Amino acid sequence: MQIFNSIEDIKGLSVKALTWGSFDGVHRGHWKIITAMRNRGSNLLITFRPHPKKVLERCLFRSLSTDDEKMKLLRDLNVENLLILPFSMTLAQFGPEVFVKYILKHIKIQEIIVGENHRFGQGQKGSIKTLATICKKRKITMSALPLTTIDGTKISSSRIRKDIELGTVCIANRLLGRRYSIKGRVIKGNGRGRKIGRPTANLEVPDEKCIPMNGVYVGRVRLGKKKYDCLISLGSRPTFKEYQYQNAFEVHLLDFDQDILSRQLEVYFVHFLRRHIRFSNTRQLKKAINKDEKIARSALKDRFIL
């Protein structure tokens, strides 16, 4: 995959098919568009950095995929050319026709492929009807693909983010087409888990990633080239008074007890297990964790998770 970082870098490029969008998460709905582009032959996908919502809403927007994750996912889907277009308030003010003119000024294309709900241009005023009119003027073919659905649910990045934030990661995984994951570096914790015989790896929570609702999850971990079953704890630790208001991202790797401080983990969420509750003593807490482990082992047994 050839990667470009400015509109000037693609000067002279000629492709048969083009699409653009945020492509956050590169989910199953995006696969349909990418597959259609690949079927046409040479192709170019344009995405944005940062995500337009970060610029337009001026808020801490949590995405489904970091820039590096998105590039890997697109590479795995055999996108031929990728333009990562810097998104700014100036670009956001371009009307639909001006925006199309801007992205096409240096390249030649035969077809633009988008989803049927595609919006673009200032205030998202441009629709597929607008795009069809613009393409007709430029003698370019325009294809609007029906939205991908699963069990009647339309797949979109916003829907998947909502499912993750609500803790329904099993639904989010189906819509994504893979297990949702978060990468993080292991940092020094307070050692509470080790004291009760259940050591945990404490991860730095990445600011830019969408984080599931607080609670306990069944998951898997990738450490280097190896994979391990795990329990994931997000949020407070109500059993310990001194930590009950401190949020943490803790991972208990099953059948594993090595020092992995400062190592990078990729944590995959399989399904939500339970909410956090306050136990009257550590003995009850250990009993609950033992039960959690049994459920996790049963859920992950003989299942291809990664």
Task: Name the DSSP class of 122.
Answer: G
50 and 119 both lie in a single domain: yes
Cα separation, 10 vs 81, whole angstroms: 9
Q: Determine the pLDDT at residue 198.
A: 73
Q: Is residue 43 part of a domain?
A: yes
Q: Is residue 88 part of a domain?
A: yes
142 and 183 both lie in a single domain: no
Q: Is residue 164 part of a domain?
A: no
Q: Degrees (nearest 5) of the Cα angle 21, 158, 145?
A: 50
Choosing from 133, 149, 165, the residue where a domain stops is: 149
Show the domain range for 144: 2-149
Count up the domains in the chain and report the number.
Answer: 2
Question: Domain containing 296 — which CATH number?
Answer: 2.40.30.30
Question: Domain containing 26 — which CATH number?
Answer: 3.40.50.620
9 and 144 both lie in a single domain: yes
107 and 218 both lie in a single domain: no
85 and 124 both lie in a single domain: yes
- Look-up: residue for tokens 């003027």? 137
288 and 193 both lie in a single domain: yes
183 and 54 both lie in a single domain: no
Contact (CB, 8 A) for 82 and 2: yes
Q: Is residue 160 part of a domain?
A: no
14 and 137 both lie in a single domain: yes
Cα separation, 260 vs 43, whole angstroms: 42
296 and 189 both lie in a single domain: yes
Helix axes 128-138, 96-104, angle to 10 degrees: 50
Choosing from 131, 149, 167, the residue where a domain stops is: 149
Please state whether beta strands 248-253 and 226-235 pair in parallel, antiparallel, or not at all (unpaired): antiparallel
Low-confidence ranges of the chain (pLDDT < 50): 242, 244-245
Handedness of CA 157, 160, 165, 166 (dihedral sign): positive
State whether residue 181 is helix, strand or coil: strand
Choosing from 149, 165, 194, the residue where a domain stops is: 149
Q: Is residue 54 part of a domain?
A: yes
Q: Determine the pLDDT at residue 302.
A: 62
Q: What radius of gyration do the chain's Cα atoms show?
A: 22
Cα separation, 148 vs 156, whole angstroms: 9
Q: Is residue 165 part of a domain?
A: no
Q: Is residue 185 part of a domain?
A: yes
Q: Is residue 184 part of a domain?
A: yes
Q: Determine the pLDDT at residue 241.
A: 52
Classify residue 245 by burial, with Cβ atoms within 10 Å: 0-12, 13-18, 19+: exposed
Residues 6+ apart with CB under 8 A from 89: 55
128 and 6 both lie in a single domain: yes
Q: Determine the pLDDT at residue 245.
A: 43
272 and 232 both lie in a single domain: yes
Tell me the pLDDT tens digit for each residue of 32-84.
999 999 999 999 999 999 999 999 987 788 999 999 999 999 999 999 999 99
Classify residue 246 by burial, with Cβ atoms within 10 Å: 0-12, 13-18, 19+: exposed
119 and 240 both lie in a single domain: no
Cα separation, 271 vs 51, whole angstroms: 27
